[in-house]
Structure 1
């Protein structure tokens, strides 16, 4: 299952920074690469179509989401990392993002040192958010301390090799473009420091030109904003679903398919598309010409070069290009929710029955079982449940803790491995053992494909 994860958008009370390519090279306040090659490679984790990179902030090693849809770096303070980071020079501001909740209070901090591989910036602004509910790590099964985007992309050429999971950063002056017969280069447009491209979509038997935000911080494939005047509307085959969680709350809307998405000569078939309800995306629609977003489930099908100075993006197909667009056929959204004690066999123990189990002392038999141990294992809980989905019809409830799936203990799986079980073919039988208020129950259902 691909959990929709949304980038945090630009604060409503910040002054728009005019993006000027001609002046970027003269800025002293920027990321520079501290080696002779003026280039560096960083390994990243690809989790649910999202890029997680190691970032050192004020000497502390953290994990950040690489998000083209965010302006300034944001740190989530659910682990009180700002105390360790010694954040200083702060002022209180309010941030606004996706969802229909309230703005979130944050501290704006100046003069922070950021280091990504050999790329370093000595005076970086950041926002520290103190809302304990803004912790996206449980949905990913991996700690994410913050988000970084524009400030890195504007200073360096950023190459993302999704196939090898390598991020390459290069000083623009040291970068040389190679001839590429099998790639496509598209022009970038910028609004509020965020990149947009022009594409085409074939839906409802029409070819429609669209302008899309490039949002590497979203795990979905394609978002479209419904607009009858442009012919952008869902087909008759759709279901209403949880689409993800943004800075200002959860987002809901329709999930469906479009026949094709065209990025110049590249054509993707039967693409997953989400149509978020307008009440959750008021902030995202401030750019009147924007028709939606292009996110991680499409971006990962290419190896990508971002060149903000020249305002171009280069796409080259990779091994994921022809991968079928799947979606969650169970209706279950899971989250990591702490740990539970589990009794399991101790592989390090040997059979010691002869020494202990069969010992007799004046008629008293002492048996010490060393084959088992108690361990803390991750607990996976149902946090969203789609109405009329196979799981809901089978009796599953929000709050149920999933103990096993098809007779295998869930603690043997990473969260994303478990979630992908719900993306398998229609008709696949799913048997869950769950704990509900201390009672063990069994839930049985089959995956259903709405679009067949």
Structure 2
């Protein structure tokens, strides 16, 4: 995968505009892919959904399960938790440099073709893998549960993959398995192991624009708009400054606004939150010339989605969350889960002139209660939802600051 607070630590996540160019040097062996064992043709597995992102159990070299985000926006398997290097006893790893979106220098990672990944009863020997030398994204703090990596293209290319967001189930089946796919067919263009599709977006007072976007269910936002041709994507008149997260090379600044409508296939969504990353932060690192942005999980989770890379298509069937409003953080602060058990909720960032700023909350405050009810009863996702709903709602937020317990009055506000 809300920038206001739904990114990663530090400002934190639109994290999967990621790993551009990482596939160079770790291509799969010819004919290698996930395959079912024992003549199975179809399997269902449960997943967790955190901030619109899909988390599945993955075994590596028979060890695990490890928690991986299932992400159409990445190519090779990516291990983001470097502690797995020791627990998996990995040796003789090759080092590469990776350029990503954001400010700063490229970062280093290891690459390997020696690992075996298992999802359910499907196995991929010698899967192309990138292993970060540092946990740059701190995904565990962002999602409030331990996260070990990202699984992408090699899973989707091996099966027809149906994601049922409302029931938290994935059904994946061999392409030879005869099954009618339900939903509206959206053509995909697979470029560099990533799926692109055409959508149409319209802002108030403007004609609709047909654009090409990355279909990125590993990004928690609705849509990110980077460029139109060789120029910055024109933002609407009303926007707010926002930190849009981090890429591999550092902070991505930008603005947040709303599109009047977004059309994909026969479906139209209204009043859609749209982020506009700083043009100079991203333009030189976007390798697809006609790509204008990426479509994230805050849109995709409103559908049951079926990916058929063999037929270059995704099928969309709206679910009962289709008409839910696009909400942003109404407090203007970012919260992460810290500590060995991820049960300490720390304010990582305060947006200037936001309700949190006006309430005199500060970065590094630990939130311990809301309306005098302990936050220990909440997950990080549930806590963030409290601050995303209720324009003009008043909350008594108790924090620990430098050993002192302080209670602040916070008035939520819909800022965009």
Is contact 1:88-1:109 (8 Å) kept? no
Give 1:180-219 correspondences, 5 Å limit.
180=182, 183-205=183-205, 206-219=207-220
- The corresponding residue for 1:153 is 156
After superposition, residues 110-189 of structure 1 pair within 5 angstroms as 110-178=113-181, 180=182, 183-189=183-189
Scaled by the length of structure 2, the TM-score of the pair is 0.92
For the structure 1 residues 236 and 288, does the alpha-carbon distance in structure 2 shift closer, same or farther, using more than 3 Å as the test? same
Q: Which string of whole-angstrom CA distances, capped at 9 and with x for unpartnered residues, describes residues 20-47 of structure 1? A: xxxx9x9531110114441111110000
Q: Structure 1 residues 93-102 or 148-157, which shifts more?
A: 93-102
Q: Is the 8 A contact 2:227 2:283 kept in 1?
A: no
Which ranges in structure 2 are unaligned for 5 or more consecutive residues?
A: 8-12
Describe the shift of the 1:377–1:143 C-alpha distance in structure 2 as closer, same or farther (beyond 3 A): closer
Change (3 A) 1:444 1:414: same
Say if 2:408 is the partner of 1:438: no
Q: Which residue of 1 aligns with 2:289?
A: 288
> Does structure 1 retain, via aligned residues, the 8 Å contact 2:26–2:111?
no
TM-score (norm 1): 0.85
Residue pair 1:377, 1:411 contacting (<8 A) in 2 also: no
CA contact (8 A) 1:93 1:108 kept: yes
CA–CA separation in structure 1 for the residues paired with 2:152 and 2:35:
15
C-alpha separation between the residues in 1 aligned to 2:112 and 2:342?
37
* Runs of 4+ deviating beyond 6 Å: 228-231
Q: Compute the displacement of 1:246 (Å).
A: 2.6
SS at match of 2:387: helix
CA–CA separation in structure 2 for the residues paired with 1:110 and 1:103: 22
With CA pairs under 8 Å and 6+ residues apart, which has the higher RCO, 1 or 2? 2
Bigger mean CA deviation after superposition, 380-389 or 283-292 = 283-292
**SS at 1:334's partner residue?**
strand
* 1:284 positional shift: 4.7
Secondary structure in 2 matching 1:213? strand
In the TM superposition, residue 301 of structure 1 has moved relative to its aligned partner by 0.3
The size of the alignment, in residue pairs, is 405
Report 1:3-402 matches (<5 A).
3-4=6-7, 5=13, 6-7=15-16, 9-12=18-21, 14-15=23-24, 27-61=30-64, 62-78=66-82, 80-178=83-181, 180=182, 183-205=183-205, 206-227=207-228, 232-282=233-283, 284-338=285-339, 378-402=343-367
Q: Does 1:412 align with 2:390?
A: no
Shift of 1:102: 2.0
Change in CA separation of 1:249 and 1:142 when aligned onto 2, cut-off 3 Å = same
Structure 1: distance between partners of 2:228 and 2:49: 33
- Secondary structure at 2:310 match in 1: coil
| Pair 1:417–1:13, CA change in 2 (3 A) | closer
Q: Identify unmatched segments of 5+ residues in structure 1.
A: 19-23, 340-375
Query: How many Å apart are 1:276 and its aligned residue?
Result: 0.9
SS in 2 for 1:328: coil
